[in-house]
């Protein structure tokens, strides 16, 4: 009992109390210390979860919610790295190097970025990795939220070859009827 030991150590030199094992004061101090130790343990968890560097559970989730960086299925250390990367973003993050940091803050390590300033176009090629449809949507939403609003952002996920489009077995009219655009086909945000 941490609190009990601390209290008895401080009270013993005063000589005011009989601090023997069976004394009433000892029993009372032990009772107090149980409550104090319990609250002390709770405070330790709160302090641990308050900081990204030490958070392991709900603290990480709270930081991820705050920065829009929720990452399911990622280990604790990687989640911490991604939150810290998001925390570093600022109004100075809109340089070419800053755009790369924004992409890395999404947990993406393999990508290529090309700019076309005359068209305000930013093309991000993520074809080196494979992403689920839900993850693709999340990536696009995050990029649109984090990158400057005046830029048109084209994200290439890489599987939209002519063979892939042919494998959908849809005519151009069928794709038009489903509301598919070339952009949605190129970025594979379509359902067959």
pLDDT digits (tens, 9 = 90+) for 131-166: 888 888 889 888 988 888 888 888 888 755 566 667
Question: Residue 7 has what pLDDT?
Answer: 86
Local confidence band at 53 (pLDDT 50, 70, 90 cut-offs): very high
Q: Mutual orientation of helices 96-104 and 133-146 as an angle, nearest 10°?
A: 140
Residue 37 lies in a domain: yes
| 2-30 residue pLDDT tens | 888 888 888 888 888 888 888 888 888 88
What is the DSSP secondary-structure string of 177-191? HTT--HHHHHTT---
User: Where does residue 103 rank: exposed (0-12), middle (13-18), buried (19+ CB within 10 A)?
Assistant: buried
Across all residues in the chain, what is the average pLDDT? 83
Q: How many residues does the chain have?
A: 192
Question: Residue 191 has what pLDDT?
Answer: 42
Q: Average pLDDT in the 63-84 region?
A: 84
Report the alpha-carbon distance of residue 112 to residue 39 in Å, rounded: 50
Residue 32 lies in a domain: yes
Cα separations in angstroms, 80 against 38, 69, 75, 100, 108: 28, 10, 9, 18, 14
Question: Residue 113 has what pLDDT?
Answer: 92
Residue 39 lies in a domain: yes
- Cα first-last separation, the chain: 64
Residue 26's domain comprises 2-50
Residue 17 lies in a domain: yes
Residue 27 lies in a domain: yes
Residue 21 lies in a domain: yes
Using only C-alpha atoms, the chain has a radius of gyration, in whole angstroms, of 28
Sign of CA dihedral 133, 135, 137, 139: negative
**pTM for the full model?**
0.58
Q: Which residue has the higher pLDDT, 73 or 104?
A: 104
Q: How many domains does the chain have?
A: 1
Question: Residue 111 has what pLDDT?
Answer: 92
Is residue 175 predicted with pLDDT exceeding 50?
yes
Question: Residue 185 has what pLDDT?
Answer: 65
Report the alpha-carbon distance of residue 153 to residue 170 in Å, rounded: 26
Q: What is the DSSP letter of 98?
A: H
Question: Residue 192 has what pLDDT?
Answer: 36
Q: Which residue has the higher pLDDT, 71 or 106?
A: 106
């Amino acid at each position: 009992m941490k609190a009990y030991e601390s209290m008895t150590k401080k009270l013993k030199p005063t000589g005011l109390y009989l601090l023997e094992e069976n004394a009433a004061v000892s029993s009372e101090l032990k009772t107090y210390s149980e409550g104090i130790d319990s609250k002390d343990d709770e405070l330790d968890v709160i302090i641990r979860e308050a900081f990204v560097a030490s958070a392991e559970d709900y603290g990480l989730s709270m930081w991820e919610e705050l920065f829009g960086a929720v990452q399911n299925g990622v280990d604790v250390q990687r989640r911490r790295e991604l939150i810290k990367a998001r925390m570093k973003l600022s109004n100075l993050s809109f340089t070419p190097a800053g755009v790369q940091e924004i992409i890395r803050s999404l947990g993406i390590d393999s990508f290529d970025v090309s700019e076309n300033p005359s068209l305000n176009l930013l093309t991000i090629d993520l074809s080196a990795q494979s992403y689920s449809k839900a993850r693709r949507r999340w990536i696009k939403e995050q990029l649109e939220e984090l990158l400057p609003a005046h830029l048109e952002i084209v994200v290439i996920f890489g599987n939209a070859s002519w063979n892939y489009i042919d494998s959908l077995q849809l005519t151009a009219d069928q794709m038009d009827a489903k509301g598919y655009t070339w952009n949605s086909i190129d970025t594979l945000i379509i359902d067959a």
